[in-house]
């Protein structure tokens, strides 16, 4: 059974803190994604990675960075958390090639920045 | 730029009845993929159904089927014999053939009345 896990379901941080969100997949997928989900806006792509140490900006990369040192792990970093980064963060992975590139999702991390 | 529009923020249906969720998209591409994803409350996003644009036949998966109108750029999801477990947020998503990035609609919350 495919599995994408995220380090925390709920996280509360203070403004200005550095925040790490971790995602691990056990499907040997090449692609990994970080999304932000806000009500009425759907999912917006922050960053994605198509290989180890490779990354590309999505639609809303400002205020975020990512790291992919191992194929199975993709980290999202908020260098200095701000209240407008309070949101649900979803990680996903997919094969580089194959039928319609289905993305598999983790359970999400609900981050609150106070 | 491609966009995906879900015009129904919320829908409700009586258990065992049929409901249709709407999705329209805008693209100048001829080859692409369309997806419906389901996000149950506090649970992971999962793929419900996918459609390849080059296929004229509408995709079906058990009680779930789509009405794909390529010329009208419409991709609606029909759920037959609605069950309580179908209650969730439903997201429509678009992917270009040459890219693994998904463009997401804002989502439709489906409520099932017992």
pLDDT in tens, B13-64: 999 999 999 999 999 988 899 999 999 998 899 999 999 999 989 999 999 9
CA distance A80 to chain B (A): 27
For residues A35 and A44, is the Cβ–Cβ distance under 8 A?
yes
A87 φ/ψ angles, rounded to the nearest 5 degrees: -175, 180
Tokens of A99: 């039928």
pLDDT band at B100 (very low <50, low <70, confident <90, very high): confident
Task: Determine how β-strand A109-113 pairs with β-strand A10-13.
Answer: parallel
A48 contact B CB<8A: yes
The proportion of chain B whose per-residue pLDDT surpasses 90, expressed as a percent, equals 82
Residue B113's pLDDT is 96
Residues 63-82 of B with CB under 8 A from A: none
Instruction: Give all strands (DSSP E) within chain B, no chain letters.
Output: 3-5, 10-14, 19-21, 24-26, 32-39, 46-52, 60-61, 64-69, 74-79, 88-96, 102-104, 108-113
B46 contact A CB<8A: yes
B102 contact A CB<8A: yes
């Amino acid at each position: 059974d495919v599995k994408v896990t995220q380090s925390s379901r709920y996280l509360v941080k203070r403004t200005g803190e550095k925040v790490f969100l971790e995602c691990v997949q056990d499907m040997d997928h090449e692609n990994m994604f970080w999304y932000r989900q806000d009500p009425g806006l759907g999912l917006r792509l922050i960053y994605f990675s198509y290989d180890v140490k490779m990354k590309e900006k999505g639609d809303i990369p400002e205020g975020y960075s990512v790291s992919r040192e191992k194929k199975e792990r993709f980290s999202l970093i908020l260098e200095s958390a701000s209240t407008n980064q309070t949101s649900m963060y979803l990680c996903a992975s997919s094969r580089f090639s194959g039928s319609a590139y289905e993305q598999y999702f983790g359970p999400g991390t609900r981050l609150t920045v106070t | 730029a491609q966009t995906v529009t879900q015009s129904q923020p919320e829908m409700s249906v009586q258990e065992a009845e049929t409901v249709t969720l709407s999705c329209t998209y805008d693209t100048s591409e001829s080859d692409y993929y369309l997806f419906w994803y389901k996000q149950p409350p506090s649970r992971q996003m999962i793929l419900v159904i996918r459609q390849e644009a080059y296929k004229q036949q509408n995709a079906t998966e058990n009680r779930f089927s789509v009405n794909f109108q390529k010329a009208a750029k419409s991709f609606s999801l029909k759920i037959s014999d609605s069950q309580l477990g179908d209650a969730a947020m439903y997201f429509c998503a678009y992917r270009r053939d040459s890219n693994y990035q998904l463009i997401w609609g804002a989502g439709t919350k489906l409520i099932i009345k017992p």
